[in-house]
Every structure is written in structure tokens, then in C-alpha cells.
Amino acid sequence: MAERLTVAQFDLVILGGGSGGYACALRAAQLGKNVALIESGKLGGTCLHRGCIPTKALLHSGEIADSAREASTFGVNAQFLSMDMVAVNAYKDGVISKLHKGLQGLVKSRNITFVEGHGRLVSKDTVEVNGERYTGTNVVLATGSYAKSLPGLEIDGIRVMTSDHATNLTYVPKSVIVLGGGVIGCEFASVWKSFGAEVTIIEGLSHLVALEDESSSKQLERAYRKRGINFELGVRFKSHTVTADGVTVELEDGKTFSADVLLVAVGRGPVSANLGYEEQGITMDRGYVIVDDKCRTNVPGIWAVGDLIPTLQLAHVGFGEGILVAEEICGLSPRPINYDGVPRVTYSEPEVASVGLTTAQAKERGHDVVELNYDLAGNGKAQILRTAGSIKLVSQKNGPVLGIHMVGARVGELLAEAQLIFNWEATADDVAPLIHAHPTLSEAMGEAHMALAGKPLHAHG
Ligand SMILES: Cc1cc2nc3c(=O)[nH]c(=O)nc-3n(C[C@H](O)[C@H](O)[C@H](O)COP(=O)(O)OP(=O)(O)OC[C@H]3O[C@@H](n4cnc5c(N)ncnc54)[C@H](O)[C@@H]3O)c2cc1C
């Protein structure tokens, strides 16, 4: 005789407690809905435990190591001796743990039913976990993504690893090969170089961070060359051999590279296999759940958010989509997300940050494009920080700013203003009169718009 299953009824049953899932849960609960949030790992998901937060903590340790190396430039007697990875990991894990506890408290305080366990969609409105059934008027799929590898490239977590392993390394390798020059690859390359490793990036496309405006990629490449980070562009991985003391990689052009470890950072794929999605008739494409502009799947009452759907794989996109779904379910009719207006940052040294369209995209979409490059050399704070880089504006001729692309230390912080400019469709004339505090990096944003408006201050033109 089949075992009787308990059934609990909710307004929303959310499968996956990462950025997308928990944001949806928090907003829906705030709007008075009865919510179950199901998570097989840790609340907070990839971003908190294996992604954004640990990598940014490692990058910050790296920044301090670099500051120690460069201390004499600023008249400070200090010396870089070595990395203490036990202490680095304790610092990083402390940050994660504090945020994790805070999030657990938040979920509890909103009376969300948090269910620990592996869930599976067993009907159009029900998820089964640990032999119990959770039925929702709405089901939100938020199972996220995993680090992909290439055929034949087996991840052993020791010599050949993904970011999951790299965020918890207990030593600094002498040398590293980073396969993939996208955001994650470039961030780890930056971390390891700062920690003292010899780093080589292998990228099949013709640029690092190839989704960025080409000018940003070129500036990052220049900066990496200066830092002594090696890279091979436009050439693909062929094979690898793991030996007792390292790993050797052969490329399709015949070149070989050897290092202590190989980080595979070739992208992330959706977590959707064997979860019952296809069986319930949900439209999928290469494992991604397909949704409309309100994150609705083709099955009424089933929604999907975050890395599971083919939108930008960013934590704040997951937050936005989770909130969108909660508000749509609650009848608030939120506006669909304009994905062009999502801010993007590669938190390497230097940082690469952007919002809106690249020059190539703006032209493809038929805009009459004008460009303005403001070199950070003219910015007082950039000189104080000793950082190089620029702010590039892509604008419609006599129209709104279509894209803002930045390279330099701390430019990620400038996105707050950049995204307002883009999303409020401001023109250079709107921004030019706004007074920016001196001396800040944000002044460069003001100066760039002044120059585009035809009245440059600290720039030739
Ligand atoms: C190294 C790295 C660095 C990153 N840095 C940044 C950054 O700086 N900024 C940024 O915006 N983004 C960054 N990201 C991306 C960001 O982490 C993701 O976009 C974000 O976590 C996606 O959220 P999600 O909710 O869709 O998925 P996830 O965070 O992956 O959450 C999905 C959750 O679902 C759970 N789950 C899966 N299947 C089941 C099941 N069957 N039952 C129960 N639970 C299940 C998983 O355990 C997981 O916790 C980074 C990613 C990585 C890997």
C-alpha cells in the first residue's frame, strides 16, 4: 500500500532558496501571502555561499595584499610577506555566516515556512520534499545554476576545479590556469595574482569579458598585462593531463601550459534535470525554463526566476525577478524588467562596470550613435588612488544616453548613478548641470556628461 503523504497548502511554493527564490518569498510574505520556501542546501544559495559574497571577500583580501605591496608609493612603511589562507577563509566565512544568519532571521520574521530538503515538482501545483507534499496556488521554480565543464574535462576539485572549490582553497597555488575569461574567470585571475600566484587565462573569444563594450575589454587586458596576468585569447582548449604535481593544458593551436591547478570557468548551466519540470509540460530550452516578460512559464500557475531562466545570471537580476513574480501574483501589475538597464560589474582590479548598450549593440539597433571617452587621468580621486581607466558614454545623437562603460578601481560604485541616467533616459544636457562632489570618482561621471554636452571642464575638447 502506498504511503500516505502529508499535504500542506500555500499561496506560493518556491523551489530554491537562492537570490531569486528568497527574494520572491520575502516580497510575497510582505504582501500577506502564505509562503513555503524549499531549499536543499543553504538559504542564500550560490550568491551567498559560493558566489558573489565569497569572491568579493577574496578580492578584498587581494586588494589589501596589493596595498601592502604598494605601500611605499603612498609613503607608508609596510611590507607584503605572505597570504594566511586560514585567516583569509575565516574572514570570508565570517562575512558569509553573518549574512546567512541575518537572512535566516528575516525569513523567520516574515513567517515563511522554510523547508529543508530536495524538492521535486510532482504535479502542476505540488512539490514533494522528504515524502511530504507542498501545494501552492502558485509554484515558483528557482533552482539556480551549476558550474559547467567541457566534455572530457573532469572536475576533481583538487587539480581541476570550479569556482565552488576555488572559493574555499586553503593555500595559494604557485601557478593557475584559468579556463574562461568571462566575469568569474577574470575575478579569480585577479584574486590569485594579488595573492601571489602566476596566472594564465585561456579564452576562446577574442577578448576578456567579451560581453562588455570592446573598449572596456581592451582596457582590462592592458591593465592585466601590466599586472603580469597572462592571457591567451581567441584560442580554444583542446585537452588536459593531470600529473602528480599539477595539470597541463593543450590548446588547439598546439601551445601547452602547465600549472598547479586549473580553474574551469566556462559558464553556468541551469539546475533543472530530474526535477519534474518536463513531465509537467513546462517549455524548456537546453535545460533553461522559458518564461514570458513576467516570468510566467507556459503552465498556468508555474513561474521561474533567476539563473534557471535565460536572462542575465546575476544575483540582483534574481532579486528583481523574484520581486516581479511576487508582485504580479499579488495583482500589483509591476512593469517587466528592462534587462538593458541592469548594472553589471566585474569586480577585478581594475573593475569593469557597465549599464545599457555597447556601441556595437546601439548601432545594431539602428541608433545614430555618438561616443565620449573620459579618461580617469583627469580625475583627482583617480590620481589619488593611482588608478587608470575611463568612463565611456554611448549616446543617441541629441538624445538619451544609451550606455555607460567604465574601467578603473572602484568604478562599480559609480553604477548607482549610471543606472539612473540610463533608466531615466537622461540626456547629457540633463546630467551636465548636476554638481558632483570634489574630489570623488563620481566627478568623472559629471565631467563625461559635461564633455558630451559640449562644455568640458577638466578635459580637452
Ligand atoms: C563565483 C561566482 C561569483 C558570482 N559573483 C556575482 C556577483 O558578484 N554579483 C552578482 O550579481 N552575481 C554573481 N554571481 C551570480 C549569482 O550568484 C547568481 O546569479 C545567483 O546566485 C542566482 O540566484 P538563483 O536564486 O537563481 O540561484 P542559486 O543562488 O543557485 O539558488 C538556487 C538554490 O536552489 C537550491 N536548489 C536547487 N535544486 C533544488 C531542489 N531540487 N530542491 C531544493 N532546493 C534546490 C540550491 O541549493 C540553491 O540554493 C556569481 C556566481 C558565481 C558562481
- DSSP characters over 282-302: --EETTEEP--TTSB-SSTTE
User: How many CB atoms sit inside 10 A of residue 172's CB?
Assistant: 19
Q: What is the best residue among 14, 22, 52, 354 to mutate for testing ligand 1's pocket, by most ligand atoms within 8 Å of CB? A: 52
Q: Which residues of 104-129 are buried (b: 16+ CB within 10 A; e: fewer)?
A: eeebeebebbbbeeebbbbeebbbbb
Residue in 53, 40, 166 with CA at minimum distance from that of residue 99? 53
pLDDT value at residue 328: 98
pLDDT value at residue 1: 42
Residue in 179, 148, 145, 184 with CA at minimum distance from that of residue 167? 184
- C-alpha 423/C-alpha 419 separation (Å) is 6
pLDDT value at residue 460: 72
Write the residue with the smallest CA distance to atom 48 of ligand 1: 45
What cell was used for 57?
571577500
How many angstroms separate the most distant Cα atoms in the chain?
A: 83
Pocket of ligand 1 contains residue 350 by CB under 6 Å: no
Q: Active-site positions?
A: 438
Q: How far is C-alpha 109 from the geometric centre of its chain's CA atoms?
A: 28
- C-alpha 334/C-alpha 301 separation (Å) is 17
- The pLDDT averaged over each successive group of 10 residues in the chain (461 residues) is 69 98 98 98 98 98 98 97 98 98 98 98 98 98 98 96 98 98 98 98 98 98 98 97 96 98 98 98 98 98 98 98 98 98 98 98 98 96 96 97 98 98 98 97 97 90 63
Q: DSSP secondary structure string, 114-128?
A: EEES-EEEEETTEEE
Write the residue with the smallest CA distance to atom 30 of ligand 1: 144
Write the residue with the smallest CA distance to atom 50 of ligand 1: 51
Pocket of ligand 1 contains residue 44 by CB under 6 Å: no
Pocket of ligand 1 contains residue 41 by CB under 6 Å: yes
State in Å, rounded, how far the first CA of the chain is from the last one: 83
Residue in 410, 402, 420, 393 with CA at minimum distance from that of residue 352? 410
